Structure 1
């Protein structure tokens, strides 16, 4: 509800102009999805160099889509991409998705800056994979317009978006968010706010146990992954997936879940050791696997 007591009306269709704060691999993927759905995308980064790098990521993703036959010509879509370095440049957005690293203080600072810059009817979404949506929403003046839109990496190939509801999120926004996800060509899974939501909580639990198995010599990373892929139909084994997500990201989520849910989410020593050594997975060129050319 607004301060006047009237209900906020959220647009039924995906807003014509959407913003993404953070143009890393995840943020660029979200911008790619928004462009494919017909929206303009404004990607906000910390400076001009980072903004240019973000634009390059979106362009490469779009050209890869063309190579796979998903689109004909990326040029018209890329004309709807803009980059920015000031929060004020998000003022015309109907939806802004925060996609900065998984750090509570950083996300709170980012979301407050977004709220100060956008119109009263703008929906503010966080791509957080584990942090409490209620904690994020209650830090803003209008928590009723905040929800989670948890995309999965790599966004262009993933068919899932987790729609996470904070206690203040109303039914109208829930319905709109599910419709927006469908417009993006993906499937919405609606979950209520809880540590790790549904996907991260289950995915991290599996990943941590797989790491413990490697750590204790039960099996190699390759064989653990093969067991889950061939035996249970997982498209990617839990250790290769950890490399794709980033070992540092998995470690951060595990530590958060350990604080919230107890010692069953305590990170294995092997995970901590690899992160300390800079073996972060695909983005560093080495994790549980070698990734030639990715460092």
Structure 2
């Protein structure tokens, strides 16, 4: 199936990143969210990230300008999605929210449209069942920051057909990504492993085994991780990590029980870089944690 128009639902950190790589991949892309203000901020950040790519010599000014011309903004979801070939959902990790969204999308999208979720843990089959096109439903799990991270996990639901899989695999590669095929399971591959590492890091911090900074340093220098677990959770969002852990705890058992310290941080509003403080605190223009 030929994909020309991609619609991304949700203009947060993940959604704007997916839109970024989509326009770079040559796709006409419409970014949708509930307000024009959210959309304008996302467009400004995409432009800033593309400009940084030009300054680093990773792309030309011409490529940047052409890519930005492919980006459209629309706060009306039904209008944005009605002519889409592929819709990628990037809304918060709440199954009720996603089920409602996909039921609406199924009603307004053309019969050929492929629906994809960027979920990092939730059931593709359950979301597909909210539509009348489960054969054209699939998981496309991108990683933050999307324009830098090379992987997309592709997850089939129970009824996902081969054409849908091959289509999103091709789209992912045009977006500059490597892909892995993952059988549907709570947390897939990366979230299932990363949640354990991050949760154990919080238990170590709670027990006073080492400081957050030294735990991060140990995993980066000793295990060759590009980011420490606390740097990672501040980027992902502590509320997002807690939501994933709660889901994995419910579906996979006690080893995923969220650390009480993580729960306490979320209750305190320390949600990560997006609010200026998480495990670390951040200035308005952070070069890193302070």
TM-score normalized by the length of structure 2: 0.94
Give the stretch that moved more between structures: 68-77 or 269-278.
Answer: 68-77
Q: Which residue of 1 aligns with 2:16?
A: 28
Q: Which residue of 1 aligns with 2:227?
A: 236
Contact 2:89 2:117 in 1 (8 A): yes
Q: Which residue of 2 aligns with 1:38?
A: 26
Residue 265 (1) aligns with residue 256 (2):
yes
Query: Structure 1, residues 27-79: CA drift from partner, whole Å, max 9, x if none?
Result: 00000000111111101111222222222222222222222222212222111
Q: Which residue of 1 aligns with 2:56?
A: 68
Q: Which residue of 2 aligns with 1:118?
A: 109
Aligned mates of 1:159, 1:105 — CA distance in 2: 29
Residue 147 (1) aligns with residue 135 (2):
no
Question: Offset at 1:181?
Answer: 1.3
Residue 84 (1) aligns with residue 59 (2):
no
Aligned mates of 2:146, 2:159 — CA distance in 1: 27
RMSD value, Cα? 1.3
TM-score normalized by the length of structure 1: 0.93
Residue 55 (1) aligns with residue 46 (2):
no
Matches within 5 A, 1:1-295: 10-11=1-2, 15-73=3-61, 74-86=64-76, 87-293=78-284
Give the stretch that moved more between structures: 19-28 or 79-88.
Answer: 79-88
Question: Which runs of at least 4 in structure 1 moved beyond 3 Å after TM superposition?
Answer: none
Aligned mates of 1:192, 1:18 — CA distance in 2: 25
Question: Offset at 1:16?
Answer: 1.5
Contact 1:164 1:193 in 2 (8 A): yes
Question: Offset at 1:110?
Answer: 1.3
5+ residue gaps, structure 2, are: none
Question: Offset at 1:294?
Answer: 5.7
Aligned mates of 2:36, 2:232 — CA distance in 1: 31
